[in-house]
């Protein structure tokens, strides 16, 4: 799923490309729209957004938030396969496109979702968006001391802690693997087993991995915001390849429909569950 680095770049591109533009036409395309689009205002998705001007695009965790020149907000949680696309009216649409905003210059902003797992909310109150109010702080807004304090109540496996939105916002399965590899911490170590040094390394790895990844995504994505460039990953989805740090073979474990990749040499000390 898109995580903090991808969505941060998408936000920046949208603020350059669509902020200040008025939506001249809104299309809801079925059946995908019926699954992913939710009008919480009750005023009508098409009716509310036609002729609305986009004033700002923000990111909070794994959500994108659109402000318009009226009270309603559009909140997008793309989840596993949701994507936004900048296009022209002449460009072919993806099969699972849910909605299209057309602007006066014949450019379009589209949302498509291959598995229709994302959620798009038109709302007057973002507190009505599931999981939004419960999010923890942004990784870049938390100090080292605050990070140590926030970790204390959690007792599960450290990868599971990192991917819990109420702990920190914006980190998902893929970047958790990358962060833990950089910190040299086994993903299945219990939080209570981590040493003070490992917690320090983990904090540093979060900051460095996410900041570096934003710039790598920006360079690879450009304005093709529907792409998800991850060729720069060190371990995630690289099972069987050599660890970039020590040369050992990268392991893969699949549990609860989530793939975890790590290096057993660099990230020693976890519960062994098989290759």
Q: Which position among 2, 5, 139, 187 bears the catalytic label?
A: 2
Catalytic annotation, pick one of 43, 155, 258, 273? 258
Clarify whether 22 is annotated catalytic.
Answer: no
Q: Nearest Cα to 81, choosing from 161, 134, 139, 6?
A: 6
The yes-or-no answer on residue 153 being catalytic is no
Tokens standing for residue 197: 């040094």
Tokens of 267: 């990230």
Closest to 32 (Cα-Cα) out of 68, 102, 65, 81: 81
Annotated catalytic, 62? yes
What is the pairing mode between strands 37-39 and 119-123? parallel
Q: Select which of 3, 6, 108, 157 is catalytic.
A: 3
Are residues 98 and 80 in contact, defined by beta-carbon separation less than 8 angstroms?
no
Residue among 38, 62, 110, 201 flagged as catalytic: 62
> What is the three-state SS of 119-188?
EEEEECCHHHCCCCCCCCCCHHHCCHHHHHHHHCCCCCEHHHHHCCCCCCCCCCHHHHHHHHHHHCCCCC
Question: Which positions are catalytic?
Answer: 2-3, 62, 258
């Amino acid at each position: 799923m898109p995580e903090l680095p991808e969505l941060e770049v998408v936000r920046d591109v949208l603020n350059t490309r669509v902020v200040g533009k008025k939506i001249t036409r809104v299309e809801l395309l079925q059946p995908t729209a019926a699954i992913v689009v939710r009008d919480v205002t009750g005023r009508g998705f098409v009716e509310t957004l036609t002729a609305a001007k986009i004033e700002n695009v923000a990111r909070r965790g794994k959500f994108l938030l659109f402000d318009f020149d009226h009270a309603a907000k559009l909140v997008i949680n793309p989840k596993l396969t949701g994507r936004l696309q900048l296009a022209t009216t002449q460009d072919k649409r993806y099969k699972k496109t849910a909605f299209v905003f057309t602007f006066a210059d014949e450019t379009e902003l589209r949302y498509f979702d291959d598995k229709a797992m994302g959620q798009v909310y038109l709302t007057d109150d973002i507190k009505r968006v599931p999981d939004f109010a419960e999010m923890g702080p942004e990784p870049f807004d938390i100090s080292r001391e605050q990070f140590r304090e926030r970790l204390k109540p959690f007792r599960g496996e450290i990868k599971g802690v990192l991917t819990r939105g109420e702990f920190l916002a914006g980190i998902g399965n893929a970047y958790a693997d990358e962060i833990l590899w950089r910190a040299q911490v086994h993903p299945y170590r219990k939080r209570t087993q981590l040493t003070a040094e490992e917690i320090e390394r983990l904090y540093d790895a979060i900051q460095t991995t996410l900041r570096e990844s934003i710039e790598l995504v920006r360079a690879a994505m450009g304005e093709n915001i529907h792409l998800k460039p991850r060729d720069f990953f060190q371990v995630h989805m690289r099972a069987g390849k050599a660890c970039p740090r020590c040369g050992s073979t990268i392991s893969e474990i699949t549990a609860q429909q989530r793939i975890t990749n790590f290096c057993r040499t660099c990230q020693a000390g976890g519960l062994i569950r098989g290759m």
